[in-house]
Amino acid sequence: MYGGGYLPDDQKRHLPIAEDPDKLAAFETRIDRGDKVEPQDWMPTEYRKQLIRMIEQHAHSEIIGALPEGTWITRAPGFKRKMAIMAKVQDEIGHAQLLYAAAETLGKTREAMINDLINGKSKYSNVFNYPAETWSDIAVIGFLIDAAAIVNQTLNAKGSYGPYCRALERICYEEAFHLKQGHDAFVALATGTERSRSELQAALNRWWKPIMHFFGPSDKASVHSEKLMRWKVKMASNDDMRNQFLDMYVPRIWELDLTLPDPELRKDSDTGVWLFGDPDWNEFFEVIKGNGPCNAERLAVRRWAEEKGEWVKRALRPRNEIYVTPLA
């Protein structure tokens, strides 16, 4: 029988896989009640598939996201900032570990996930396909991309899948420190010299479009939002998350007398909704298809790391044979 037989006709097309309608109804009742779903519980195949896709993309974003920042550890201005960025990079890799572990509870192995990343089959966040040319880029990433991630993750930490929510809670705790260090570096540049301000302004101009893209396409163009929100995997739509971010952070940018490269950006005082010009969705779709400025470089680094680290994995793999000291 077609999954979701009890659903209104316009929703059935979102459930292409045959599911037992009674089990599906019981599952959706639990979701509506706010219960957490745990790995051993029954879940619709599509719920499992969507969670794997989203958690896996998130995990990949953490390890790929560490790459642009990683190249700045040795170049960060001063010992304090070097220590902070080094700790942040280490945290991001830890976040990837937590997320891969959460995705593994759904049945996909870590090896399969890494293979899909390095073969270009899985996506990761658009923002990490742009270069970090100056220290100001790192300040923009640390302040605004971490802020955007916190908006997304604090919402989704209240979602339905237990292992993902618990991983997100811990990640958000650490991201709050990342945001503080990013904001501190950002304010230092904004209130520093004329040169540091203009370098920061240039970085902000470069990053604005990718940051607007970070929350995904507009609600009208989003493919997965409707079912992910119905199943409480996503707790707000892409446009709602983007709006929350603009509401919280545009004033903090403007109060530093910095500008944003969108003349149409303003808050509609009647609706409370932020209005903005077209952030160039063509560029977004090109980047997530693999044609951004750094996609090839990022995947090449990951492939290199996999190849060069293979001996470590081999050495750690449990062996069954009994070790015998070789005869002299």
By the criterion CB under 6 A, which residues form the site for ligand BYC? 53-54, 57-58, 61-62, 65-66, 92, 123, 125-126, 141, 145-146, 149, 152, 213-217, 222-225, 228, 234, 238, 288
- Could you tell me the smallest distance in angstroms from the CB atom of residue 256 to ligand BYC? 21
Consecutive H or E run containing 135: helix 135-140
CB 227 within 8 A of CB 50: yes
Please say which residue, 25 or 155, places its beta carbon nearer to ligand BYC. 155
Please say which residue, 24 or 141, places its beta carbon nearer to ligand BYC. 141
Q: Which residue in 60, 201, 207 sits closest to 127, CA to CA?
A: 207
Which residues neighbour 223 within 8 Å (Cβ) at sequence distance 6 or greater?
none
Which residues neighbour 296 within 8 Å (Cβ) at sequence distance 6 or greater?
290
Give me the residue whose beta carbon is nearest to ligand BYC. 65
Please say which residue, 295 or 325, places its beta carbon nearer to ligand BYC. 295
Between CA 225 and CA 239 the distance in angstroms is 10
Please say which residue, 37 or 85, places its beta carbon nearer to ligand BYC. 85
- Could you tell me the smallest distance in angstroms from the CB atom of residue 322 to ligand BYC? 44
- Could you tell me the smallest distance in angstroms from the CB atom of residue 57 to ligand BYC? 5
Name the one residue in this structure whose structure tokens are 């969705």: 281
Please say which residue, 62 or 137, places its beta carbon nearer to ligand BYC. 62
Distances (CA, A) of 88 to 64, 95, 180: 13, 10, 11
Which residues neighbour 41 within 8 Å (Cβ) at sequence distance 6 or greater?
none
Please say which residue, 223 or 312, places its beta carbon nearer to ligand BYC. 223
CB 130 within 8 A of CB 210: yes
- Could you tell me the smallest distance in angstroms from the CB atom of residue 190 to ligand BYC? 20
- Could you tell me the smallest distance in angstroms from the CB atom of residue 17 to ligand BYC? 16
- Could you tell me the smallest distance in angstroms from the CB atom of residue 66 to ligand BYC? 6
Please say which residue, 125 or 196, places its beta carbon nearer to ligand BYC. 125
- Could you tell me the smallest distance in angstroms from the CB atom of residue 156 to ligand BYC? 6
DSSP of 64-109, one letter per residue? HHHHHHHTTTTTSSSHHHHHHHHHHHHHHHHHHHHHHHHHHTTT--
